[in-house]
Amino acid sequence: MTDPVALSFAETDLEQIPAQAGRVAVVVDPEGSLSAVARRVNRLTKGALARLVEADSFDKRKAGDIVTLAMPQGLAAEALDVVLLPRRADSALLRKTGAKLAKLLGEEGLLLLTANLNAPAELALGLKLRAYDYDAQKTEKAKPKGAVTVMCAKPPADIAALDAVVQGVLFTRDLVNAPANVLTTTAFADELLALKELGVDVEVLDEDKLEELGMGALLCVGQGSDSPSKVVVMQWNGGNAGDAPLALVGKGVVFDTGGISLKPAAGMEDMTMDMGGAGTVSGVMKTLALRKAQANVVGLVGLVENMPSGNAVRPGDVVKSMKGDLVEVINTDAEGRLVLCDVMWYTQERFQPKAMIDLATLTGACIIALGHENAAVFSNSDPLCNAFLKAAEAESEGAWRLPMGQAYDDQLKSRIADLKNVGGRPAGSITAAQYLKRFVKEETPWIHLDIAGVASVKTETATAPAGATGWGVMALNRLIADGFEG
């Protein structure tokens, strides 16, 4: 998997600045005042910084801008990047600015002088998140990026936690970016088995076990594929023994043709990302293990491939879920909810979780409603939902709550079975959530996250290149840290 760019923190040492190779970046207040560190750089460069901040054009600059001075006099560095940030910049601005620095990072590395910046770790986090290239399928690899040294007045105490978050996000991105012939259901399960090395208990349930458990809804999705369906159970037991865990459940459709309800050819190659929910759950579990989270969390992912064949499930078939409900399959391209409903029921039966959150690239309707800026949030618990929305906002991961209700549930009525797997075109994301809600026990606080629009994108975001974003790893990690640890 992709390794994060090497980054370390150190106390400010002005004597190291002149000989630093590669790039040097220095933080300057947008108002033009120079810190002691910036004044030192100004003297080394024969007044270059003073001339910059005194120029008329400087007034047009704004917080987050970076002005590059090439081949600066007095420095061995090839470039001096002047980073405009107020001392108390918020985390969103700091991360975006760090991401801009990442795009300038070359093979010879960077010395980043944050002066009296209040939260240098947030700047570093943005840099590490954006310094990511997925080149696993290229013969010519991207040139390695040099190491970054962040100099500040007081280095952050918990650097390991920052790196744990980055590694979780990059793990998710690598999984979601991987093509389906590489990340098969078996290969995905093997990637998760490797988390045992970090202290995660990992168990793989094969088709015979799933059949024994009665997971007819999940199994029907993968029955047209040669790749075996699996459920992977990951347990991180960092909290008090006996405490009920938080449960995370992810949809892991490694490729989705739509089955017999075949998707159009145009754009079908993007359906390698239809395991994005499982990818996010996997990234969260890796982060929790790396930072030794003091919480009990279980992550379960249903891994299937949805293919058309002579053995594929057909529109009009009726399948039996683990709960016992009989489901009329109207559209085989609404397969994710069939996977999730069985895994969610199994999760509750086995673990009796204190709360459950499922994630899935579930509906195109979600993209129509919210675009690529926000995931759709549905919940039966205001306290849990509000806590998640707060965590997502703090991490700048867009999320928006949508309504639920009986009228939407009524759209799922079936003439021949207990319910249908789709409710028609109106409110498609909501009826999908209503379907899943039928498999949530009354006593279980629950959130459904439809991440179809945010898991993978065509253009770069503030902290990720085009492709997989790793959305949700940071928000869920913060939710756990704020509400489930201790």
SS3 of residue 135 by DSSP: coil
> In this structure, is residue 423 part of a structural domain?
yes
Q: Are residues 304 and 287 in the same domain?
A: yes
- Mean pLDDT in residue range 307-326: 98
Domain boundary (155, 188, 221) is at 155
Q: Indicate if 147 and 184 belong to the same structural domain.
A: no
d(CA 152, CA 143): 28
**Does 103 fall in a domain?**
yes
The pLDDT of residue 319 is 98
Phi-psi region of 315 (alpha: psi -120 to 50; beta: other; left: phi over 0): beta
Work out the percent of the chain whose per-residue pLDDT is above 90: 97
Q: Are 92 and 129 in contact (CB under 8 A)?
A: no
Query: How confident is residue 435, by pLDDT bands cut at 50, 70 and 90?
Result: very high
Cβ partners under 8 Å of residue 109, min gap 6: 21, 22, 23, 145, 146, 147, 148, 149
Q: Is 263 exposed, middle or buried (0-12, 13-18, 19+ CB in 10 A)?
A: middle
486 pLDDT above the threshold of 80: no
Kindly indicate the confidence band of residue 142, based on its pLDDT and cuts at 50, 70 and 90: confident
> Which of 251, 420, 209, 231 is closest to 319 using CA atoms?
420
Tokens 């947008």 belong to residue: 30
The reply to whether 110 and 214 lie within a common domain is no
Residue 423, by phi and psi: left (phi above 0), alpha (psi -120 to 50) or beta? alpha
Q: Is residue 133 part of a domain?
A: yes
Residues 151 and 169 in one domain: no
Do 117 and 204 belong together in one domain? no
Q: Are residues 141 and 174 in the same domain?
A: no
Question: H or E segment at 256?
Answer: strand 246-256
3-class DSSP state of 319: strand
| pLDDT reported for residue 158 | 80
- C-alpha–C-alpha distance, residues 402 and 369, integer Å: 10
What is the domain-level CATH number for residue 319?
3.40.630.10
Residue 86: burial class (beta carbons within 10 Å; 0-12, 13-18, 19+): middle
Question: pLDDT digits over 8-65, tens only?
Answer: 999 999 999 999 999 999 999 999 999 999 999 999 999 999 999 999 999 999 999 9
Q: Are 140 and 248 in the same domain?
A: no
State yes or no: pLDDT of 179 exceeds 90: yes
* Percentage of residues of the chain with pLDDT beyond 70: 100
Q: What pLDDT was estimated at residue 1?
A: 83
Q: Is residue 458 part of a domain?
A: yes
Q: Are residues 221 and 84 in the same domain?
A: no
Instruction: Please state, in angstroms and rounded to a whole number, the distance separating the CA atoms of residues 108 and 456.
Output: 30
User: Are 37 and 100 in the same domain?
Assistant: yes
- For residue 1, being part of any structural domain is answered with no
Q: Which amino acid is at 427?
A: A
| Tens digits of residue pLDDT in 195-234 | 999 999 999 999 999 999 999 999 999 999 999 999 999 9
Contact of 304 with 229, CB cutoff 8 Å: yes
Residue 143 belongs to domain spanning: 7-155
Please state, in angstroms and rounded to a whole number, the distance separating the CA atoms of residues 86 and 117.
7
Return the pLDDT at 360: 98
Mean pLDDT rounded to a whole number for the chain:
97
- Tell me if 245 is assigned to some domain: yes
Provide the number of structural domains found in the chain: 2
Domain boundary among the residues 124, 155, 186 is at 155
Which tokens go with 477?
């990690």
CA angle, 386 then 387 then 389, to 5° = 65
Domain boundary pick from 89, 122, 155: 155
pLDDT (tens digit per residue) in 456-477? 999 999 999 999 999 999 999 9
| Predicted pLDDT at 465 | 97
Q: What is the pLDDT of residue 423?
A: 97
464, burial (CB in 10 Å: exposed 0-12, middle 13-18, buried 19+): buried
CA 105, CA 386: separation in Å to the nearest integer? 38
Structural domain contains residue 2: no
209/128 same-domain check: no
Q: Is 337 a catalytic residue?
A: yes
Residue 127, domain member (yes or no): yes
Nearest to residue 98, comparing CAs of 7, 189, 167, 217?
Answer: 7
Span 273-308, pLDDT tens digits: 999 999 999 999 999 999 999 999 999 999 999 999
Catalytic pick among 173, 323, 337, 438: 337
Is residue 83 located within the same domain as residue 225?
no
| Same-domain status, 265 and 399 | yes
Confidence of residue 125 (pLDDT cuts 50, 70, 90): very high
Sheet strands (E) in 277-331: 296-306, 318-320, 326-328
Cα–Cα distance for residue pair 13/36, rounded to 1 Å: 12
| pTM score | 0.97
Task: Kindly report the CATH number assigned to the domain that includes residue 135.
Answer: 3.40.220.10
Catalytic residue among 39, 43, 100, 263: 263
Residue 264: half-sphere exposure toward Cβ, Cα within 13 Å: 2
In the predicted model, is pLDDT for residue 408 greater than 80?
Answer: yes
pLDDT of residue 157: 81
> Which pLDDT does position 126 carry in this prediction?
98
Q: What is the mean pLDDT of residues 151-163?
A: 90
